[in-house]
Structure 1
């Protein structure tokens, strides 16, 4: 998971979302609001294309799931489930892009809360996942830094899905190669090629790996985190390379 910035919706879509929310709020009981929200969302064809377009623009990589970062984002997930808070069914700030597995296969109706009733899952448009999760790069596994981080690991199976773990390990190797290639072509003055390397690197699945690499290279314990991989750390600390890659982030 990586930090994401929410974009603005077209005004006509915002107007429709507000209209549907008012229809839900007008219902006399909580159960009636839930039923109305469910029925309205089932017939959401008028707003779905605009929502998906905006979420895809925000998504990590090229239209990747905002939770696992690997699979194609195909579903509009309600971060706070609509069965729990029907009035947020058409709340743009409650919509995230998810793959079908993270949405239906993992999260479903699960929405863990802490003792004070606050969400334990991390909404990457509101919180920086780096504050809650640390990726052990050579292993491709996450360590929880907070209860919120642990909830994300558990609910989305971030460490229990072998395809994710292996994918992150491979992405680490691929990212190192991209950094080397960027340095090589930049030194030769091939700046268009360098920009293409950056574009492709950020469009790949599992960009949480490259985000973690740059983040950890600034950590006080960076030498320990990259023990045995000093060449990677040297590249990540190269000011010109950092500017070239992070200006695209």
Structure 2
């Protein structure tokens, strides 16, 4: 998972949703349940696919290459579900399949974030597994949550990481050499994102394995080279990490998180500058705490 720059909101979108937004607010003012009737957001899927390079905003797997994908509402537009007993309700994976059985959040709140149904800042591209199988209508926030009230809900803090948000996933997710993932420094944001979106699901861990194994191998080589006095710009390990973390690679966000957690002072921007047109001196031999 990594941060992306949200695409600009097209004028055509503003025009299309104006009447729908007005109808929702009018129903709310009348004390009626707002009903979302038109999935206008699907007409603008290409904008989010381009911004996310065709990959799921949560798991980084290719979306448009093998499925239609969804324009996901980060905050659910209708009902919201919650786990009352996580261990009993979280469900079980079926080995070798993207199937999850017994996942049944027992708390359901009919009023969701209806006012964000046509909000451009509430959209992202997601794969069907992350969106439908795992996340569904879950939306953990810091307690106490406020649902169905636009004036009060603006003070909520969502505990899910957003690929278009302010929090860098690399500061909240820690990846293992085998492709596993866990919260970094016991991050609440990392924990809730992993278990809500299924970032630790078996098939995904296996799919990440090649990238994580390669990244940790490059980290080890980098440390040896720098200890031997090799300059950063001449380091084959750093060059490999840069290649593995570029946007065209399979899991660039995962690799960038590994770079941060294993080579503390180094940022992706420094690495990109190092192997781009501008060479910026980077001292990696004194690792600072993450």
The aligned residue for residue 182 of structure 2 is 143
Judge conservation of contact 1:178–1:201 (CA < 8 Å) in 2: no
Normalized against structure 1, the TM-score is what?
0.70
Number of residues of Structure 1 aligned to a counterpart in Structure 2: 205
> In proportion to residue count, which structure has more helix?
1
Q: CA deviation at 1:205?
A: 3.0
1:32 aligns with 2:33: yes
* Structure 2: tracts of 5 or more residues without a match: 79-111, 146-156, 222-232, 279-290
Q: CA deviation at 1:7?
A: 1.4
Q: Deviations over 1:89-134 (max 9, x none)?
A: 0000001110011111111111112224332111221121122222
* Structure 1: tracts of 5 or more residues without a match: 181-185, 188-193, 223-235, 245-249
The aligned residue for residue 88 of structure 1 is 116
**RMSD of Structure 2 on Structure 1 (CA):** 3.3
Q: Which of the residues 236, 239, 260 maps onto 1:215?
A: 260
Q: Distance in 2 between matches of 1:52 and 1:165?
A: 27
Judge conservation of contact 2:140–2:159 (CA < 8 Å) in 1: yes
Q: CA deviation at 1:65?
A: 0.6
The aligned residue for residue 58 of structure 1 is 51
The aligned residue for residue 48 of structure 1 is 42
1:153 aligns with 2:187: no
**Mapping 1:76-225, distance limit 5 Å:** 76-83=71-78, 84-117=112-145, 118-126=157-165, 127-136=167-176, 138-145=177-184, 146-159=187-200, 161-173=201-213, 201-219=246-264
Q: Distance in 2 between matches of 1:101 and 1:163?
A: 11
Judge conservation of contact 1:76–1:95 (CA < 8 Å) in 2: yes
Q: 3-state DSSP class of the match of 2:33?
A: helix
1:240 aligns with 2:235: no
Q: Distance in 1 between matches of 2:71 and 2:253?
A: 21
Normalized against structure 2, the TM-score is what?
0.61
